[in-house]
Amino acid sequence: MAFNLKGRCLLSLKDYTPQEISYLIDIAKKVKADRRAGVIHQRFLGKTIALIFEKRSTRTRCAFETAFGEEGGHPVFLSMNDIQLGAKESIEDTARVLGRMFDAIEFRGFKQETVNALAKYSGIPVYNGLTDEYHPTQVLADLMTIEEEFGYLKGTKLVFVGDGRNNMANTLAIGCSKMGINYLINSPRELWPSQEYINEIREMARENGSTFEVTDVPGEGLEGAHAVYTDIWVSMGEEAKRKEKEELLKPFQVNKEMMQRTGRDDTIFLHCLPAIKGQEVTFDVMEGKQSRVWDEAENRKHTIKAVIIATML
């Protein structure tokens, strides 16, 4: 089923229905197949996108630039050294100017309020390439990877092991609950999401026929998991907390023994990258036969292209 998403922003997956998310994944599968077959389109010919980066990036920048460029569009990279965003010029004024010159904006940075303001004042589609709160383009790629592996999403189980309140854990909670995936966070209690957020996600999961649980016992709740997911322990901007977080999270390393707790031979391992092998995940898991992190990384490009096709054309 097709949906008219033209003009829509992607600030959080909360703003999209399960059916709309499925639609985006279907488009992503099609553009991936076209790319593999050497089919060339120029759907973004004559279009421009502003790529604003407060935080460094490998996958997000490369995915947006190649997704847009392959379709004949012109991506313009803007770091904080290039523009006046929030410095000599207000975010609102920057948004108004960019909205007159570009067809879309991507923002990767710290505050969710910044990407929300860009969306409010620019008048064009704005895509959240990561904030401290959410990472929706990553989770679209994660959902696509799980569906490619198992053929379906509803009824699968995903366990996130690590910092249970970071942007990945937060956004996976939304994506899983929207798509009927049973989701569990395995994290130290000190790093749990707020009770308000837990209640909100549990209600979302209930509406879509799935569950959401949180546990602070390392390795607990992995039974039957189709996917085990982790992320780096210390995110950008948290360097001062490194020692404290590493000590808290040491028992939550994803290793061979933890993967075996699922009791499934077909469990896959996922990681949004970059990874510190030997810290949050062991080398043998990251590089082993259960790892799908490279498929997941590639799917960033295809899901981002799908989002732009659906919302800009």
pLDDT given for residue 2 in this prediction: 84
Residues 18 and 151 in one domain: no
Residue 188, pLDDT > 80, answer yes
Count of alpha carbons within 13 angstroms of residue 18, beta-carbon side = 14
pLDDT tens digits for 248-257? 999 999 999 9
The answer to whether position 106 is within a domain reads yes
pLDDT given for residue 238 in this prediction: 79
Residues 144 and 290 in one domain: yes
Q: Residues with catalytic annotation?
A: 108, 135, 138, 231, 272, 300
Residues 33 and 120 in one domain: yes
Q: Is 58 labelled as part of a ligand binding site?
A: yes
CB 303 within 8 A of CB 24: yes
The answer to whether position 108 is within a domain reads yes
Measured CA to CA, the distance from residue 196 to residue 51 in angstroms comes to: 33
Share of the chain above pLDDT 70, in %: 100
pLDDT given for residue 78 in this prediction: 95
CB 23 within 8 A of CB 1: yes
Q: Is 165 labelled as part of a ligand binding site?
A: no
pLDDT given for residue 88 in this prediction: 79
> For the whole model, what pTM was predicted?
0.97
pLDDT tens digits for 59-87? 999 999 999 999 999 999 999 888 778 67
Residues 105 and 130 in one domain: yes
Residues 202 and 58 in one domain: no
Q: Is 138 labelled as part of a ligand binding site?
A: yes
Residues 93 and 195 in one domain: no
Residues 144 and 292 in one domain: yes
Residues 55 and 162 in one domain: no
Lowest mean pLDDT among 99-103, 150-154, 240-244: 240-244
Residues 74 and 200 in one domain: no
Give the CATH number for residue 40. Answer: 3.40.50.1370
Give me the mean pLDDT over the 37-64 stretch.
Answer: 97
Residues 144 and 291 in one domain: yes
Helix (H, G, I), strand (E, B) or coil at 257: helix
Q: Which residues pair with 161 in a beta bridge?
A: 186
The answer to whether position 75 is within a domain reads yes
Strands 104-108 and 48-53: parallel
The answer to whether position 304 is within a domain reads yes
Measured CA to CA, the distance from residue 49 to residue 312 in angstroms comes to: 10
Give me the mean pLDDT over the 205-209 stretch.
Answer: 98
Share the mean pLDDT of the chain.
96
Q: Is 300 labelled as part of a ligand binding site?
A: yes
The answer to whether position 3 is within a domain reads no
The answer to whether position 163 is within a domain reads yes
Q: Is 236 labelled as part of a ligand binding site?
A: yes
Question: Please, which pLDDT band fits residue 31 given cuts at 50, 70 and 90?
Answer: very high
pLDDT given for residue 201 in this prediction: 98
Q: Is 60 labelled as part of a ligand binding site?
A: yes
Domain count, the chain: 2
The answer to whether position 6 is within a domain reads no
Q: What is the largest CA-CA distance in the chain?
A: 56
Q: Is 9 labelled as part of a ligand binding site?
A: no
The answer to whether position 197 is within a domain reads yes
Residues 74 and 203 in one domain: no
Residues 277 and 175 in one domain: yes
Expressed as residue numbers, the domain containing 69 is: 13-134+300-312
